[in-house]
Chains A and B, each alone.
Chain A
Amino acid sequence: MPEKKHSLGNFEEYVLRALIRLRDNAYGVTIRQELEKAMDDFVSVGAVYTTLDRMEQKGYITSSEGEATPERGGRAKKYFKITGSGVEALRETERIRVALQVASGVEPVGVKL
């Protein structure tokens, strides 16, 4: 049985890339804003959190509780970080994309991790 490869959906890939970019400041608000800016489209908080939740179950990211502020009504932030297997999944997705682009004769446009 061949080893199971990591696979990512488009939105999952964008979220992981946002986490890499935001580093230690990746929580719901900043992730959503980063995605909205990059995609130039409305992104709901529900879409972000369900994706984060799914990827946490897969082991691609980890979460930790942050500080509470008055602007949040005293509610704590939840910070997210990408794990080694998350980076691996991103690399695998990138590899597949490049392989398909080469096969179809389209010049690959890759983003190095």
Chain B
Amino acid sequence: MNSQSQHLYKDIKDMEADQDHLSELLSVYRSNLRHLQRQAAMHGGEENSPISLINELSNTREDIKDIKEKVVFYTAMIERKRREINLEGSIKIEGRLEANPIVTIVDIQQPPSRAEYLLRFLPIPHKDREAVIGDLEEEYQDIHHQFGQKQANYWYWCQVIYSFSPYVKAAIKSAIKWSAIGWVPSVFHLGWEYIRKYM
């Protein structure tokens, strides 16, 4: 391995260490956010919470957003560095890269952009959106590494298309439930009017 490659591998290792640190930091901030949300719930929701708590919530959310952006940035940078190295053949370096080269240095592939765009129109509940998209991306990477881009793209498209039906059904059920609840006062009102008029 030439000195240029060694230098690039060192950069990748450093960035992975930073990325691990950011992931730990993200867990701490998320735990803090949950704690603040519980406090807000005790005040009867965020709207009724003291201004200091609202500010803290807002700052924590901003911090989480920043950290997430940094994680994505590091992922992209690692991918870029990796592309600069010719990874053909065996990898002979110590530590994490040697132990698990596929997971740590094989580049992160981008799922088909049109399918990702279509995914935006899926009525996924807000609380699940991040987990669903993350799961799809994680499996996409696995399939890409095992079977190649064509299979991975096909799998991703199938997932997006076949997920429409359950999500749309769930959204319709929920809408019917809420519209039915919305009708309850009207029915009571009509009943009361009927009793007043005819009884």
Chain A residues within CB distance 8 Å of chain B:
27-29, 32-33, 42, 44-47, 49-51, 53-54, 65, 67-78
- Contacts A70-B19, A74-B68: A46 and B135 contacting too (C-beta < 8 A)? no
Q: How close is B19's CB to chain A, nearest CB, in angstroms?
A: 6
Chain B interface size, under 10 / 10 to 19 / 20 to 34 / 35 or more? 35 or more
Q: What residues on B are CB-neighbors of A44 within 8 Å?
A: 158-159, 162-163, 166
Q: What are some 22 contacts across the A-B interface (CB < 8 A)? A: A28-B132, A28-B134, A45-B136, A46-B162, A47-B162, A50-B166, A50-B167, A50-B169, A53-B128, A65-B34, A67-B23, A68-B134, A69-B138, A70-B19, A70-B75, A70-B78, A71-B137, A72-B137, A74-B26, A75-B68, A75-B137, A76-B130
Q: In whole angstroms, what is the CA distance A87 to B94 when docked?
A: 47
Q: In whole angstroms, what is the CA distance A33 to B155 when docked?
A: 13
Q: Is the beta-carbon distance between A74 and B72 smaller than 8 angstroms?
A: yes
Q: How close is B71's CB to chain A, nearest CB, in angstroms?
A: 4
Q: Is the beta-carbon distance between B164 and A46 smaller than 8 angstroms?
A: yes
Q: Is the beta-carbon distance between A73 and B137 smaller than 8 angstroms?
A: yes
Q: What residues on A are CB-neighbors of B122 within 8 Å?
A: 46
**Any chain A CB within 8 A of the CB of B176?**
no
Q: In whole angstroms, what is the CA distance A27 to B136 when docked?
A: 12
Q: What residues on B are CB-neighbors of A49 within 8 Å?
A: 124, 128, 131-132, 166
Q: How close is A54's CB to chain B, nearest CB, in angstroms?
A: 8
